[in-house]
Structure 1
């Protein structure tokens, strides 16, 4: 797709088809919910989705946190490194299917994170740690699902992909303003400054999904829009329909 340059940011021309650049970490349930919503929208609207890696482990690498949380976050490196390696070896078109294969085995009703949804406040940390121990097997199975070489799973422990992840982060557009990455999901609509979110607690479908898309598109492409937040506590993510 051709683009035009405006203020240092690449904007897609108005061709009747919208383009969403979507940054994700495979292990993030919030990103998974939003990704399933945007794929639902793409089935009913002229919408092209381009998938990009964003590493929560990298984003939080300089943050202070408990040792237990640090160990858990360190486990986030593996799957997103494999995605970066797959892109490098097999091209951009494999990223979306690989993310779907990973997410389905992580967040779907029978995914490895299913026990976490039923964990209590007292048991959550232990249950989550046990679930995270299964990510290696998930990566191997997801590679098989999409016909990618099994040896890509070995890239989970390789730091050589971390520079590629930094480069992916750097491509998040900011309309020439200082870039401040918050987390995933991060979306850019038609090359405009990216938004953190929308953060959804469940997967919208049908007309509801399209109404939410229309609202997001209106805000995200308006040059005066900056931020929208809700003043409540965050609910638990419902990653299954």
Structure 2
């Protein structure tokens, strides 16, 4: 049986959709899964921005995953990601108000709900975010994957239990039936073993969304945040010269201070 390490960031609906496919493959006896963390917010920082100082939007979720892994094992980290993803992406979003889409729960709030669904104490989130060592551990894991597999995004699948080739994807819009899940896996895993195969890609529509109930809602919220951050990046703005992720984090911090 193929052993796969699945690198994830809960921020990405595409990553969550692929994780549903991977879990189905595991249930069908095709693969055995392990889990690793990769931060999209960190990888998108500018070279001169210190990730240790980043107030990451999904920091609470990643830090909780690390603490849960350290206390209960890697499989439990994977269960947490599944529960968190279901809450974030598979729940119907609240109705939009007169000012646009309703705000989403923070990653800390969603993480507490995910822990409760698994029978863990939701206060684990507060323990994780109160301990600077958990963010240090997230960054260390992120850097280790960056160095080992030259990762740049999620989902990334690392073959041979994390020691083999790493491939970004597959990025899938919807979860296929079981027969197609297996067929896709066998095609994909075969291609992944050809070291000289560099890229296979389709033309992507800007409006394309993962087939998940909350995908459009959360995408609209992110577009709003990105627009505000780009305004703050303009010459003379408070985040002139910073990366988009840094500006977005700064604006979130400014709004709560």
Structure 2 length normalisation: TM-score? 0.69
RMSD: 2.8
**Per the alignment, do residues 171 and 48 of structure 1 end up closer, same or farther by CA in structure 2, a change over 3 Å counting?**
farther
User: In the alignment, which residue of structure 1 is the partner of 2:46?
Assistant: 62
User: In the alignment, which residue of structure 2 is the partner of 1:172?
Assistant: 145
User: In the alignment, which residue of structure 1 is the partner of 2:33?
Assistant: 49
Q: Does the CA-based 8 Å contact 1:173-1:194 persist in structure 2? A: no
Q: 1:78 aligns with which of 60, 70, 78?
A: 60
Structure 1 distance, partners of 2:76, 2:22, is 18
- Aligned to 1:150, the other structure's residue is in SS state coil
Unmatched 5+ stretches in structure 1: 1-16, 65-70
Q: Tell me the CA shift for residue 173 of structure 1.
A: 8.1
Q: Does the CA-based 8 Å contact 1:26-1:99 persist in structure 2? A: yes
**Deviation sequence 1:130-155 (CA, Å, 0-9, x none):** 11x34332211211222223321112
Residue range with higher mean Cα deviation, 97-106 or 199-208:
199-208
Q: Does the CA-based 8 Å contact 1:19-1:189 persist in structure 2? A: yes
Residue range with higher mean Cα deviation, 179-188 or 31-40:
179-188
**Deviation sequence 1:149-203 (CA, Å, 0-9, x none):** 33211124654223322332244388x7xx5322111111223221111111222
Q: 1:102 aligns with which of 70, 84, 89?
A: 84
Structure 1 length normalisation: TM-score? 0.73
Structure 2 distance, partners of 1:31, 1:18, is 20
Work out the number of aligned pairs and report it: 203
Matched, 1:212 2:184: yes
User: In the alignment, which residue of structure 1 is the partner of 2:200?
Assistant: 228
User: In the alignment, which residue of structure 2 is the partner of 1:146?
Assistant: 118
Structure 1 distance, partners of 2:14, 2:174, is 9
Q: Tell me the CA shift for residue 39 of structure 1.
A: 0.8
**Per the alignment, do residues 75 and 63 of structure 1 end up closer, same or farther by CA in structure 2, a change over 3 Å counting?**
farther
**Deviation sequence 1:78-130 (CA, Å, 0-9, x none):** 211110111122221211111111111111133xxx35xx97xxx7xx637x1
The structure with the greater share of residues assigned to helix is: 2
- Aligned to 2:123, the other structure's residue is in SS state helix
Q: Does the CA-based 8 Å contact 1:185-1:199 persist in structure 2? A: yes
Structure 2 distance, partners of 1:143, 1:86, is 9
Unmatched 5+ stretches in structure 2: 49-53, 214-257
Q: Does the CA-based 8 Å contact 2:30-2:182 persist in structure 1? A: no
